[in-house]
Amino acid sequence: MNMTHYMELLATNQPWNLLIFMGVPVVLAETLAISELYVLFTRSRSGWVHALNRAVGLTVGVYFVGVIGYLLTTAVVPITQAGEWRTVIDVIAVGSYLVSGLPLIYIAAQELGLVNRGADEQYKLKLHASCVALFLVFGHIAMIAGMLDPSLLSAAAGTEHAMPMTHSH
């Protein structure tokens, strides 16, 4: 079966790529989502859960700055320049993964006071929760598209042909 560049990235260099590009971001983002629910339900802007929420939001946002920068320069640009995308499924998988990090980066920017400085706490709380939701939506789109066989949308669908990934990740 052919695979998307997203899935190939996770399968290559086991277990490191899986940990770097899936394990660490998902654990951080899920911790953020769970602590976000607590903050939303209690409206608590203090305590250890709120502190954890802030720390994880900052950490995962900064982490995604590195991940996105790395993948853009080592995978997206070279694959695009070489014309090696494996149908729109491949583009959706990789693109959704990269886009999923943007709301987390925005959360980190908010935690650092780079955005929304003058906004009230209610607005910040709503925006924070919305960013977590956007991450979850785009992250799941990336995972679902990433698991599809990209040849489902090619003219030669159903034929098996090797499409080795030539770019190092």
pLDDT at 161: 46
- pLDDT higher than threshold 60 for residue 15: yes
Provide the sign of the torsion angle of the four alpha carbons 48, 54, 58, 64, taken in this order: positive
Domain ranges of the chain: 5-151
- pLDDT higher than threshold 70 for residue 102: yes
Distance between CA atoms of 132 and 32, rounded to whole angstroms?
8
Distance between CA atoms of 140 and 134, rounded to whole angstroms?
10
Burial class (CB in 10 A: 0-12, 13-18, 19+), 81: exposed
Smallest Cα–Cα separation from 105: which of 146, 66, 152?
Answer: 66
Q: Which residue has the higher pLDDT, 168 or 149?
A: 149
CB 107 within 8 A of CB 128: yes
| Section 110-128 average pLDDT | 93
CA distances to 71, 88, 157, 163 from 9, rounded to whole Å, are 10, 17, 22, 13
Distance between CA atoms of 125 and 39, rounded to whole angstroms?
9
pLDDT in tens, 64-93: 999 999 999 999 999 999 999 999 999 999
Q: What is the residue whose two structure tokens read 């995962």?
A: 60
CB 64 within 8 A of CB 107: no
Distance between CA atoms of 33 and 107, rounded to whole angstroms?
12
Distance between CA atoms of 7 and 29, rounded to whole angstroms?
19
